[in-house]
Chain A
Amino acid sequence: MKKRAIGYGLVLSLLGSLTACGGSGSAGNDEPIKIGIITPLTGNAAAYGSGFWLGVQAAENEINKSGGILVNGKRHKLQATVCDDQFVPSKSVSCGQKLSESLMIYTPATQSSFPLMGFNQKDDFILMSTSQTPAFTSQGNKLVVRSTYNLERQIPDLARLVGEYAKKEKLTLKSVAIMEVGSDFGPAFTEAFSKAWKAGGGTITGTASYDTVTTDLTSQLTSLLRGNPDAIAITTVCQSAALVMDQARHLGFKGTFINAVCAGGTGMTKYMGNSEIIGSNIATVKTNAFDSIPVVGAFHKKYSDEKYKSAIEQQIFEFGYFGVEWFAKAVSTAGTTSDSAKVHAALEPALQTLQPNILGITEYFPDTGDIEMTTYLAQTKPDGQSFDPLGGQK
């Protein structure tokens, strides 16, 4: 009996001390600033989504190691919580509802961010996304922000740079068939690309819909190849893009691939029967693709550990990292841990303190949430690494 009483006493005193610890935390000074991350950690886009989450975690660790985010003289820890949506819209919604108490929710794609736009203003959280779809920032949502370019702003550059590339390589690149991903991004890309490509004298021979879940693309490609295109434009992340390229070659396609999202990575070659195929992949890339840019080189050196390799090759790690770094700076600049509108407005001055940055984001437009960033053309080498075939032309 006596032993049991001592045991109960110990447990109670331990619980008491734990409660006391929790109490001091909730009293206020160091209450964490919460952000939610909605990304596919399982399913067919898991490698991409996990790479993004790895970038977020790296930024979170760095911020917390340096003492947290300084707001009005007090330091607050950053607390990132992840929810796996598998790129399924209904799961994105339930993830969003679960994480709606966060000051910001950050997602790595249109699929994950669009379903949250219905309630992010009502639930008062900033919605940051790597979505390139124009509608993300054209619907008057006051709390959205992109961490990558808007297709409408960038596609004319892509069409122009591809034209320059064809001229330089003496390639016939007039007709393009589009593999259109079945999210909002796909039709938006088709519309913007078709407009820009036709304006430059090119033709679109056909479009075919696909998604990141499908791995047999023979039907789509057979249908597209009947139009005998010079190039196929691809609109999905690297894994799916690699499948399109591999299967298109099997069906006799000899032309170029224009990639809207993926510029390479050794990961791509793993999915191809013949890695030489990858050499015909061209894409627009951001600053983070080039180690020769000092800020990027230093960043990649810092994260040269093997566990970051795949995420960096897919060029998604930096997006996870920089979005969080930018947000943390904005919270500090805004001087509030709860006013999302104030933080949203502070993203502009915060960005100016982060120049130059690994993504090459130069400007932010608070009225819409759009950004301006530098884009380059990249060609992928057979080893999966990308290089700039136009020698720095932007």
Chain B
Amino acid sequence: MQVLANGLALGAIYALVASCLLLIFGILEIPDFALGGRIMVGGYAGYFVAENLGLHYWIAVVAAALAAGLLGVVSELAVYRWLRNTPRPLLSGFIGALVLLTATEITVQLLFTADFRKLPSPYESQILDFAGIRMTEQRLLAGVVALVLIAALHAYLRGTRGGRAMRATLEDRRGAEIVGISPAKTALIAMLLGSCMAGVAGALLGPMYLVYPTMGDAILIKGLIVIVLAGMRSSLGAISAALLLGIAESFGASYLSVGFSDAYAFIFLIIALMVRPNGLFTKSVLVR
């Protein structure tokens, strides 16, 4: 049970990051590796608000969302918007995102050094013990908040005018433009939402796994694996794939070998793509 609980908690965070990546990729059509940098910026913003200003953890979470959201908007306006108009936008976006990630990490490292920092949270020292499962409140909270945010995103996409415009752009960019949906505005909103959620992820992870310049890298890779597993376009599939991946990693590390714990995600991906090349949760495409 402990192993399953570990896997589910891990999977929920993967799902949050994958949802951010999917939203941004769907609208901007850029694989946004720089999201790892914004997770980290969220972690740092939360740390400074909670540790240096002594404010409550939840205020730190809001600050993390705002800082990462702001960075996302700046990235879209200053970098991605221009790269989308180049002759090869996917390649340019790919390189641009990597440059942005590196630049963010190096800047933070120069400003704050590479020291580990623990984001203080009142939930980190509280331990829940239920049916043989031990878990800090922070870990449970991270999983629950991640799932609530994903649900809120879905509610926004389905229940609001802005969300429907975004879904229209996701379905058919040209069609959306024809009916008057501004692609630039939609991209900006997608970037803002995705980045704010990434910032929250940073603040949720900070108390457990510490804050440091490369803290977003590993989780970003897992997020990318999840969206490839799910089939690039399926948001509900991404949540399922994330939970499956978290559980697979946790069971693999506990019952096979912990030495390969980081490799399980890739092994899982390779096997899944061999069985279903279009992703686990996409409908098969019949090619005539």
Query: Which residues of A lie under 8 Å from residue B278 when comparing CB positions?
Result: none
Given A215-B210, A250-B135, A252-B129, A239 and B116 touching (CB < 8 A)? Answer: yes
Contact B253 A216 (CB under 8 A): no
Query: Which residues of B lie under 8 Å from residue A251 when comparing CB positions?
Result: 2, 134
A175 an interface residue at 8 Å Cβ cutoff? no
Residues of A at the B interface (CB closer than 8 Å) are: 41-44, 46-47, 50, 182, 208-210, 214-216, 218-220, 222-223, 226, 239, 243, 250-252, 270-274
CA distance A208 to B208 in the complex (A): 20
User: How many Å from the CB of A111 to the closest CB on chain B?
Assistant: 16
Contact A222 B6 (CB under 8 A): yes
Query: Which residues of B lie under 8 Å from residue A41 when comparing CB positions?
Result: 114
Q: Which of B56-64, B177-185, B254-262 lies on the face that meets chain A? A: B254-262
Query: Which residues of A lie under 8 Å from residue B207 when comparing CB positions?
Result: 273
User: How many Å from the CB of A329 to the closest CB on chain B?
Assistant: 32
Contact A209 B6 (CB under 8 A): no
Residues of B at the A interface (CB closer than 8 Å) are: 2-3, 6, 10, 109, 113-118, 124-125, 127, 129, 134-136, 139, 207-210, 212-215, 249-250, 253-255, 258-259, 261-262
Cβ-closest chain A residue relative to B215: A215
Residue with the highest number of chain B CB atoms closer than 10 Å, among A182, A215, A219, A250: A219
Contact A219 B116 (CB under 8 A): no
Cβ-closest chain A residue relative to B250: A219
Given A215-B209, A273-B124, A42 and B129 touching (CB < 8 A)? Answer: no
CA distance A274 to B10 in the complex (A): 23
Contact B109 A274 (CB under 8 A): no
Cβ-closest chain B residue relative to A250: B136
Partner of B118, one of A208, A252, A270: A270
Contact A250 B127 (CB under 8 A): yes
Query: Which residues of A lie under 8 Å from residue B212 when comparing CB positions?
Result: 44
Contact B208 A216 (CB under 8 A): yes
Contact B258 A44 (CB under 8 A): no
Contact A47 B6 (CB under 8 A): no
Contact A47 B250 (CB under 8 A): no
User: How many Å from the CB of A232 to the closest CB on chain B?
Assistant: 14
Query: Which residues of A lie under 8 Å from residue B2 when comparing CB positions?
Result: 222, 251
Partner of B258, one of A209, A243, A272: A209
Given A42-B109, A251-B2, A273-B124, A219 and B208 touching (CB < 8 A)? Answer: no
CA distance A332 to B206 in the complex (A): 50
Contact A223 B258 (CB under 8 A): yes
Query: Which residues of B lie under 8 Å from residue A210 when comparing CB positions?
Result: 258
Cβ-closest chain B residue relative to A253: B134
Contact B254 A47 (CB under 8 A): no
Given A44-B114, A239-B116, A250-B136, A219 and B210 touching (CB < 8 A)? Answer: no
Cβ-closest chain A residue relative to B122: A273
Query: Which residues of B lie under 8 Å from residue A44 when comparing CB positions?
Result: 114, 116, 212, 214
CA distance A42 to B261 in the complex (A): 24
Contact sample, A vs B, 18 pairs, CB 8 Å cutoff:
A42-B114, A43-B214, A44-B116, A44-B212, A46-B114, A215-B208, A215-B215, A218-B6, A219-B6, A219-B258, A220-B253, A222-B2, A250-B134, A272-B118, A273-B124, A273-B125, A273-B136, A273-B207
User: How many Å from the CB of B9 to the closest CB on chain A?
Assistant: 8
